[in-house]
Amino acid sequence: MKQDGFYCILLLVCTLLVDSQAFLGPQHTTELATISRYHRNTSLEYRDVLLLLPRVVVQLFASSASSSSSSRDADQQAAIFSADKNSSDRDQQTWNDAEIVSSRPACPSGKSTLIEIQVDRETLREYTTPGQFVQLRPHNDDSIDPIFLAISSAPAFGKTSKSTLQFLIKMSPRLPWLPETLVKGTTVKISPVMGSGYPLNQLLSRADADASTIILAAAGSGIAPLKACIESGLLVQQRQQSNIQAILYYGEWTEEDLCFTDLYDGWKAEHGVDMKRVLSRAPDTQGYIQKVLSDDGLVQNADNAAAKSTWAILCGMDDMVESCTQVLRDAGVDEDRILLNL
- The pLDDT assigned to 237 comes to 66
d(CA 217, CA 276): 10
pLDDT tens-digit readout, 301-318: 445 667 778 899 999 999
**Closest to 213 measured CA to CA, from 319, 304, 150:** 304
- The pLDDT assigned to 131 comes to 97
Whether residue 270 sits in one domain with residue 171: no
In this model, does residue 62 exceed pLDDT 70? Answer: no
Whether residue 309 sits in one domain with residue 222: yes
Counting residues of the chain whose pLDDT is more than 70, the rounded percentage is 64
In this model, does residue 37 exceed pLDDT 60? Answer: no
- CB-CB contact of 164 with 125 (8 Å): no
CATH of the domain at 246: 3.40.50.80
Cα separations (Å) of 318 from 18, 29, 32, 49, 200? 21, 11, 10, 16, 21
- The pLDDT assigned to 299 comes to 57
In a domain, 251, yes or no: yes
Name the most confidently modeled range: 111-115, 137-141, 266-270, 329-333: 111-115
In this model, does residue 32 exceed pLDDT 60? Answer: no
- The pLDDT assigned to 200 comes to 87
Q: In degrees, to the nearest 5, what angle opens at C-alpha 256 toward C-alphas 254 and 259?
A: 100
Whether residue 306 sits in one domain with residue 278: yes
Whether residue 179 sits in one domain with residue 53: no
In a domain, 323, yes or no: yes
Domain stop point among 91, 120, 148: 91
In a domain, 26, yes or no: yes
- CB-CB contact of 119 with 164 (8 Å): yes
Give the largest Cα separation in the chain, rounded.
64
φ, ψ of residue 98 to 5 degrees: the values are -145, 140
Q: Give the least confident one: 48-62, 149-163, 259-273.
A: 48-62
Name the most confidently modeled range: 22-36, 57-71, 155-169, 206-220: 155-169
- The pLDDT assigned to 160 comes to 61
CATH of the domain at 100: 2.40.30.10
Average pLDDT over residues 286-307: 75
- The pLDDT assigned to 93 comes to 52
Counting residues of the chain whose pLDDT is more than 90, the rounded percentage is 50
Whether residue 328 sits in one domain with residue 204: yes
Domain stop point among 91, 110, 131: 91
Whether residue 68 sits in one domain with residue 36: yes
Domain that holds residue 39: 2-91
Q: Which helix (H) or strand (E) holds 62?
A: helix 46-63
Whether residue 215 sits in one domain with residue 122: no
Whether residue 227 sits in one domain with residue 296: yes
Whether residue 118 sits in one domain with residue 153: yes
In a domain, 70, yes or no: yes
Contacts of 93 (CB under 8 A, 6+ apart): none
Grade residue 159 by pLDDT with cuts at 50, 70 and 90.
Answer: low
Whether residue 64 sits in one domain with residue 146: no
- The pLDDT assigned to 125 comes to 92
Q: Per-residue DSSP letters for 256-272?
A: GG---GGGHHHHHHHH-
Cα separations (Å) of 311 from 24, 140, 219, 325, 331? 24, 44, 18, 11, 12
Q: Per the structure, how many domains does the chain have?
A: 3
φ, ψ of residue 55 to 5 degrees: the values are -70, -30
In this model, does residue 29 exceed pLDDT 80? Answer: no
- The pLDDT assigned to 313 comes to 96
Domain stop point among 91, 115, 137: 91
pLDDT tens-digit readout, 201-243: 887 766 555 566 899 999 999 999 999 999 998 887 665 555 6
Grade residue 92 by pLDDT with cuts at 50, 70 and 90.
Answer: low
Handedness of CA 174, 46, 60, 7 (dihedral sign): negative
- The pLDDT assigned to 172 comes to 93
Grade residue 61 by pLDDT with cuts at 50, 70 and 90.
Answer: very low
Whether residue 214 sits in one domain with residue 168: no
Whether residue 280 sits in one domain with residue 180: no
In a domain, 195, yes or no: no
What does the mean pLDDT of the chain come to?
A: 77
